């Protein structure tokens, strides 16, 4: 019997759609806004991301990270880690969805996207990260690198390349969004430090937590680094000054840090909101 639509949506982590939508928006906007290019880049990137999410569901089950007891904790925005252990989703369904969404993404690229060296290279980068995250990046504690390359840098630069060839402007914008993605991954993994340690996965969240650093301090440090780099890129003439509207988010960032310390789940939701709003303010 096929699992419920709810289980398929949770396993695919469709909540990430606004993230990819905003990151691709910035890439297309910097290149010269084109609605069709935005929708195409979003569809391709999100399809490949969904394939990675479904693969994550069955690979974490196989590797023993997702269990009913002593497994990865359900996050405030998804309970995907508990679907297969509870029998609400199957490994076979996860494998089928992995292949299906990957083929959709590649098919859209072949039919509609411009075929240049940069577009093909960025597509291959996305596929590489999506298919190796679970058995290469994650076990080595390099999840932040995978999200930097896939969710942030890759999404933004690929969208830019759909409109015109990659420039330094696209690279630096993608770098900022990549840093946001890497930071969010560390926060996401904060709850799983003990589980990951038991499985000998010493990721960055584990290192920071074991150093007795408060999560708010880590968040403030990371946000400050991103904003400082952003100002630097603008001063060097690599990004337009109009992208600095992001400073309007400073009160939100401060409030988010407080929530992360005292009400973690609400803090995570606020951190997600700030991450989504950052490229929007850069784009408008």
How confident is the model over 82-118, as pLDDT tens digits?
677 777 788 889 899 999 999 999 999 999 999 999 9
CA distances from 208 to 28, 70, 215, 245, 280 (A): 35, 21, 8, 30, 30
Q: Name every residue whose Cβ is closer than 8 Å to that of residue 68 and which is 6 or more positions away in sequence.
A: 82, 85, 86
Residue whose C-alpha is closest to residue 152's, from 113, 131, 183, 121: 183
pLDDT band at 9 (very low <50, low <70, confident <90, very high): confident
Q: Which two tokens stand for residue 24?
A: 């691709």
Q: How far apart are CA 239 and CA 45, in angstroms?
A: 23
Give yes or no for residue 184 having a pLDDT over 90.
yes
What is the pLDDT, as a whole number, of residue 64?
64
What is the pLDDT, as a whole number, of residue 73?
57
Q: How far apart are CA 266 and CA 248, in angstroms?
A: 21
Tell me the percentage of the chain whose pLDDT exceeds 70: 87
**Per-residue pLDDT tens digits for 210-222:** 778 899 999 999 9
pTM, entire model: 0.92
Measure CA 19 to chain center: 7
pLDDT band at 162 (very low <50, low <70, confident <90, very high): very high
What are the residue ranges of helices labelled H in the chain? 5-12, 17-32, 35-62, 91-112, 117-132, 143-147, 155-163, 168-189, 193-198, 204-210, 215-235, 250-262, 264-283
Q: Name every residue whose Cβ is closer than 8 Å to that of residue 123 and which is 6 or more positions away in sequence.
A: 44, 106, 109, 113, 158
What is the pLDDT, as a whole number, of residue 5?
83
By the 8 A CB rule, do 155 and 43 touch? no
What is the pLDDT, as a whole number, of residue 1?
46
pLDDT band at 2 (very low <50, low <70, confident <90, very high): low
What is the pLDDT, as a whole number, of residue 55?
92
Fill in the DSSP letter of residue 80: G
What's the CA dihedral at 170, 176, 179, 181 to 10 degrees?
Answer: -70
**Better-predicted residue by pLDDT, 63 or 257:** 257
User: How many residues would you count in the chain?
Assistant: 284
By the 8 A CB rule, do 109 and 40 touch? no
**Better-predicted residue by pLDDT, 120 or 9:** 120
What is the pLDDT, as a whole number, of residue 211?
73
Q: How far apart are CA 102 and CA 118, in angstroms?
A: 20
pLDDT band at 174 (very low <50, low <70, confident <90, very high): very high
What is the pLDDT, as a whole number, of residue 213?
86
By the 8 A CB rule, do 28 and 93 touch? no
Q: How far apart are CA 170 and CA 31, in angstroms?
A: 8
What is the pLDDT, as a whole number, of residue 8?
87
Q: Which residues of 162-187 are buried (b: 16+ CB within 10 A; e: fewer)?
A: bbbebbebbbbbbbbbbbbbbbbbbb
């Amino acid at each position: 019997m096929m699992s419920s639509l709810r289980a398929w949506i949770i396993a695919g982590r469709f909540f990430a759609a606004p993230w990819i939508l905003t990151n691709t928006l910035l890439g297309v906007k910097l290149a010269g806004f084109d609605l069709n290019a935005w929708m195409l880049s979003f569809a391709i990137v999100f399809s490949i991301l969904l394939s990675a999410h479904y693969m994550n569901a069955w690979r974490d089950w196989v590797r023993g990270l997702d269990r009913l007891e002593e497994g990865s904790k359900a996050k405030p925005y998804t309970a995907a880690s508990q679907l297969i252990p509870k029998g609400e989703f199957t490994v076979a369904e996860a494998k089928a969805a992995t292949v299906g969404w990957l083929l959709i993404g590649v098919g859209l690229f072949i039919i509609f996207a411009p075929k240049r060296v940069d577009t093909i290279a960025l597509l291959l980068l996305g596929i590489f990260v999506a298919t190796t995250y679970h058995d290469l990046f994650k076990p080595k504690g390099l999840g932040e690198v995978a999200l930097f390359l896939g969710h942030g840098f890759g999404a933004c630069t690929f969208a830019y390349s759909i409109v015109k060839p990659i420039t330094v402007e696209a690279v630096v914008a993608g770098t900022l969004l990549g840093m946001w993605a890497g930071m969010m991954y560390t926060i996401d993994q904060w709850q799983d430090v003990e589980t990951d340690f038991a499985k000998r996965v010493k990721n960055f969240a584990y290192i920071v937590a074991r150093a007795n650093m408060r999560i708010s301090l880590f968040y403030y440090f990371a946000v400050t680094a991103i904003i400082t780099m952003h100002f630097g890129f603008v001063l060097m003439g690599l990004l337009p000054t109009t992208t600095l509207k992001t400073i309007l988010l400073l009160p939100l960032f401060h409030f988010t840090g407080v929530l992360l310390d005292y009400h973690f789940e609400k803090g995570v939701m606020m951190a997600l909101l700030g991450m989504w709003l950052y490229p929007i303010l850069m784009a408008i």
